[in-house]
């Protein structure tokens, strides 16, 4: 039997090819998601390590102030309240250090699970938190066009629309006739006493065409075609909705990048100002010009500026990761 015309063959083959493309896009989408999550987790651990370093520096500064306050109090040149205030500042920072330490341990467990490490041994992140050359984010229309072209999740939706159209063709083909070429060659014999070696073997053969015409299938084919058409219409609506949602996500990502870049510049200036202010007040305090309260306020302002700057760095790098993920860029470095 050799089919000559089968209306199901070509649309079924195209449906299978589109399904293969959908599977490839789904794999790429999952790969981008996992790589972005790995980089996000790695970045979060680096930020936590930097926070620990800044907290330790703040504790060291406050411990130095506590020693000076105790010494001045013993010499009768300082107040007891200054010593108590310095002691309270040191003790308030110690729980934050413990919290950050356990947060790093949790982040490392998450990173180990993401990269598939089975070894229970601890690992050390040797990278430092660096900021690439800050540049302006791409234009919104450029980013939107890139997302439409390279975002695998949106590509899957478009493929599903094509799959729905092919499904309509497949179900419609069930109502069409099929034509096949038939050929047969047959040899048979009859004998007694199992003497087949001396028997006569007459043969017969025929060649013909077989035309199969579906006449009535209980209205099942019509129902399948109608269902496929409704699925195709639903897929078109989903793609349109996804386009509008993608445009909103791109707008939010671009706005997030611009806002993070602006905060990064502002917090960098504030950090330098806070460092300079702390150095000046520390010098004045050592020479007995500024009171202890001014030094405490300056140290608090410096710690706050360092924390805000570190948060701005994390937000800026995280916003870049989110934008690259949205536009379908794989995080390889």
pLDDT tens for 61-73 read: 878 877 877 777 7
* Sign of the torsion formed by the C-alpha atoms of 282, 284, 287 and 293: negative
pLDDT at 192 over 80: no
User: Which phi and psi angles does 122 have, rounded to 5°?
Assistant: -75, 155
How much is the pLDDT for 157? 86
- Determine contact, residues 321/36, Cβ cutoff 8 Å: yes
What predicted TM-score, i.e. pTM, was given to this entire model? 0.74
pLDDT at 181 over 90: yes
Least confident of 27-31, 103-107, 220-224: 220-224
How much is the pLDDT for 78? 67
How much is the pLDDT for 1? 86
Least confident of 122-131, 152-161, 170-179, 296-305: 122-131
pLDDT at 333 over 50: no
Read off the pLDDT of each residue in 240-250 and give the average, rounded to a whole number: 88
Q: Pick the more confident residue, 121 or 316.
A: 316
**Can you tell me whether residue 92 is helix, strand or coil?**
helix
In the chain, where does DSSP find H-type helix?
9-74, 80-115, 140-150, 152-173, 220-286, 292-326
CA distance 65 to 87: 9
The model's confidence at residue 220, banded by pLDDT at 50, 70 and 90, is low
Mean pLDDT of the chain: 84
Longest dimension (CA), the chain: 134
Listed residue (127, 47, 45, 42) closest to 310, CA to CA:
47
Least confident of 124-133, 155-164, 192-201, 237-246: 124-133
Tokens of 265: 């510049």
How much is the pLDDT for 207? 93
Q: Pick the more confident residue, 303 or 216.
A: 303
Read off the pLDDT of each residue in 148-173 and give the average, rounded to a whole number: 86
Q: Pick the more confident residue, 165 or 118.
A: 165
**Can you tell me whether residue 329 is helix, strand or coil?**
coil
């Amino acid at each position: 039997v050799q089919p000559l015309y089968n209306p199901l063959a070509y649309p079924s083959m195209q449906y299978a090819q589109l399904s293969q493309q959908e599977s490839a896009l789904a794999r790429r989408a999952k790969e981008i998601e996992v790589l972005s999550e790995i980089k996000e987790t790695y970045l979060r651990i680096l930020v936590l390590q930097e926070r620990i370093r800044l907290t330790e520096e703040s504790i060291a500064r406050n411990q130095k102030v506590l020693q000076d306050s105790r010494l001045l109090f013993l010499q009768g040149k300082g107040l007891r309240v200054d010593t108590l205030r310095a002691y309270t500042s040191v003790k308030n920072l110690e729980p934050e250090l413990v919290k950050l330490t356990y947060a790093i341990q949790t982040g490392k467990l998450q990173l180990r699970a993401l990269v598939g490490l089975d070894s229970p041994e601890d690992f050390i992140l040797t990278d430092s938190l660096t900021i690439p050359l800050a540049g302006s984010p791409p234009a919104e229309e450029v980013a939107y066009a890139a997302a439409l072209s390279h975002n695998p999740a949106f590509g899957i939706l478009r493929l599903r629309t094509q799959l729905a159209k092919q499904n309509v063709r497949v179900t419609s083909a069930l109502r069409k006739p099929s034509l096949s070429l038939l050929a047969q060659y047959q040899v048979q014999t009859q004998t007694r006493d199992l003497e087949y070696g001396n028997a006569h073997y007459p043969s017969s053969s025929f060649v013909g065409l077989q035309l199969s015409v579906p006449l009535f299938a209980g209205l099942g084919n019509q129902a399948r075609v109608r269902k496929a058409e409704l699925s195709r219409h639903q897929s078109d609506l989903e793609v349109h909705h996804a386009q509008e949602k993608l445009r909103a996500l791109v707008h939010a990502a671009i706005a997030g990048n611009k806002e993070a870049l602006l905060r990064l510049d502002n917090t960098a200036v504030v950090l330098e100002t806070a460092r300079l202010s702390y150095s000046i007040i520390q010098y004045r305090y050592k020479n007995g010009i500024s009171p202890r309260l001014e030094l405490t306020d300056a140290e608090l302002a410096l710690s706050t500026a360092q924390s805000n700057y570190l948060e701005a760095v994390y937000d800026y790098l995280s916003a870049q990761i989110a934008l690259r993920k949205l536009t379908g860029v794989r995080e390889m470095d």
